[in-house]
A and B are shown apart, each in its own frame.
Chain A
Amino acid sequence: MDVRKTYKLFVNGEFVRSESGRAYRPNGGGVNVPRGSRKDLRDAVRAARTAFGAWAGRTAMNRGQILYRAAEMLDGRSAQFVELLGGGVRARRELDQSVETIVWYAGWTDKLPQVTGTVNPVAGPYFNFTIPEPTGVVGVVAPEDSPLLGLVRRIAPALCGGNVVVALASETRPLPALTLAEVLATSDVPAGVVNIISGQRKELVPWLASHMDVNAIDVAGCTDQEIKAVEESAASNVKRVIKIREEEMSPYLIAAFMEMKTVWHPIGV
């Protein structure tokens, strides 16, 4: 029997229809995809906020293991993803690069503090050091091109540092992102750590940008005009707006989602 799949949003570790009951057909294709509403976004941020403490509190080693597991699961489903990405050599390359990206960031979890942290010489009886801490809930607007790799390249560095993610899938090609949710759901990533919403960007981005409980927003998929609007809304709670257009993997992308905390530890008292 031919079972037609109903694609769902991924919120709090669950596959849900949009609260609004709406769906859309990307590119006029034959597949219905949920058209997420601002309330789906609200639920996703709430789930992410709840999941943040435990995810950030895990050891770097454990976060690395979980990310690595996600890479394994993605690789295990490679045939499905290659088909979703249009087949052929290009699709295969995008899938392979996605797996490699996750593996690469999985390796970074326990090296980040050593590389980006510092010991600061100060004039006083203090041991002064700076370490990176996750910023919190990160909104990610996935790029429209390379619907899988584009998203993976933005969420993997955020997760690596201990952040939690609410991601908007590519509007025109959301299926790889929604299927990536199935990979994450089966790979020990705790519920709420990654939430993936599909829908219309112009409908959702303003709510994400103005949400007071979102600490940073990655505007990889936004046009210059959209970025300007996002930056204006983000000012309300001094959200970090991440505009790095890094195509390759980079520790600076991890650091972009981190806050550097400095500790003054008295010595000799």
Chain B
Amino acid sequence: MATALSLTHLGSLMRGVRSVDEVGADERAASLAKRSIKKSSKLWALDLAIRCMDLTTLEGQDTPGKVAAMCAKAIRPRPGDATIPSVAAVCVYPLRIADCVEHVRGTGIHIASVATAFPSGQSFTNIKVAETEECVRAGADEIDMVIDRGAFLSGDYQRVYDEIVAVKEACGNAHLKVILETGELGNYDAVRRASILAMAAGADFIKTSTGKVQPAATPAIALVMMEAIRDFVRETGRPVGFKAAGGIRTAKQAITYLVITYETLGPDWMTPDRLRLGASTLLNDVLMQIEKERSGAYQSIDYFTVD
């Protein structure tokens, strides 16, 4: 549990964050995205991608039925094929937590709920804290909170920090993922600052995006955030997880994030405890790629369950 920093400490922490070489980050992410992962390594990576996946539905039109279908897919992504693992978690809006509890209890799949006035984060702190507490009470064991970008961009780091600390406290035993919404932060320096700020405030995971803003996750942003994690771990010894979310739709993209994770944070992060891929339409493409590797024939979406 992080202890609240005083204003002067926070100031020196933020001043100590070095700036990011933007051209270098883009180049490195692009070169890592070119890695060729084939055959058995590809199958291993795709299996890991499923195990690290947060199967997500965050729509105003989500119903208990839709969530039930998603939970079934989360437990057994390919009915009739027991070699395909379950996903790491299902990720829903607070009102749908109860539906998830009903369907994934006892399967080991985590229930993640977005909270704190998702996706904008523009609400009162006490409401955000209360929402988090309600989510945990309803059965969520992972909370995906958004930071107040308005405060962050206007330089009010203390407010952002205090809010994360308060939400973390409200989480209790639930894991806290802090969404930075990098598409709204403007540049890589701000992304790195927000990453360090969130980790110092006690985040268990830092997450790229809500998926509601373009651009969402990009390989370069992921690299910048992971380098922040690497430096933070070196400094404090506390491992922090990474979640990429938003716009990850193909197996190829998923593998790119796995490569960047491996090259930046190392093999210790190649586990659902420290790496997540948030996605609503990625799973079927991964399943199709696995089937293609196994059968040697290109696949059709017609032969996979709807997600």
| Cα–Cα, bound, A210→B303 (Å) | 14
| Cα–Cα, bound, A210→B298 (Å) | 7
Q: Measured between C-beta atoms, what is the minimum distance from B298 to chain A in Å?
A: 4
| Cα–Cα, bound, A237→B304 (Å) | 13
Q: Mark A226-242, 1 if CB is under 8 A from B, else 0.
A: 00000001001100000
Q: Measured between C-beta atoms, what is the minimum distance from A19 to chain B in Å?
A: 13
Q: Measured between C-beta atoms, what is the minimum distance from A36 to chain B in Å?
A: 14
In the complex, A61 has a CB within 8 A of chain B: no
> Which residue, of A42, A207, A212, A213, has the highest number of chain B Cβ atoms within 10 A?
A212
> Which residue, of B296, B297, B298, B299, has the highest number of chain A Cβ atoms within 10 A?
B298
| Beta-carbon contact of A213 and B300 below 8 Å | yes
In the complex, B301 has a CB within 8 A of chain A: yes
Interface size class of B (residues with CB under 8 A): under 10
| Cα–Cα, bound, A37→B297 (Å) | 14
Q: Measured between C-beta atoms, what is the minimum distance from B267 to chain A in Å?
A: 30
Residue in chain A with minimal CB distance to B301: A213
Q: Measured between C-beta atoms, what is the minimum distance from B250 to chain A in Å?
A: 11
Interface size class of A (residues with CB under 8 A): 10 to 19
| Cα–Cα, bound, A87→B301 (Å) | 46
| Beta-carbon contact of B298 and A45 below 8 Å | yes
In the complex, A25 has a CB within 8 A of chain B: no
| Beta-carbon contact of B296 and A212 below 8 Å | no
| Cα–Cα, bound, A212→B299 (Å) | 5
Within 8 A of B (CB), among A200-254: 207, 210-213, 233, 236-237
| Cα–Cα, bound, A43→B223 (Å) | 29
Within 8 A of B (CB), among A23-46: 42, 45
| Beta-carbon contact of A210 and B296 below 8 Å | yes
| Cα–Cα, bound, A237→B297 (Å) | 11
Q: Give the residue of B298, B299, B300, B302 whose beta carbon is less than 8 angstroms from that of A207.
A: B298
| Cα–Cα, bound, A127→B194 (Å) | 66
Q: Which residues of A contact B300 (CB under 8 A)?
A: 211-213, 237
A-B pairs with beta carbons under 8 Å apart, 17 shown? A42-B298, A45-B298, A210-B296, A211-B297, A211-B298, A211-B300, A212-B297, A212-B298, A212-B299, A212-B302, A212-B303, A213-B298, A213-B301, A213-B302, A236-B297, A237-B300, A237-B303
- Additional A-B contact list (6), CB under 8 Å, known A207-B297, A211-B298: A210-B298, A212-B297, A212-B299, A233-B297, A237-B300, A237-B303
Closest 5 CB pairs of A and B: A213-B300, A210-B297, A212-B300, A211-B298, A212-B299
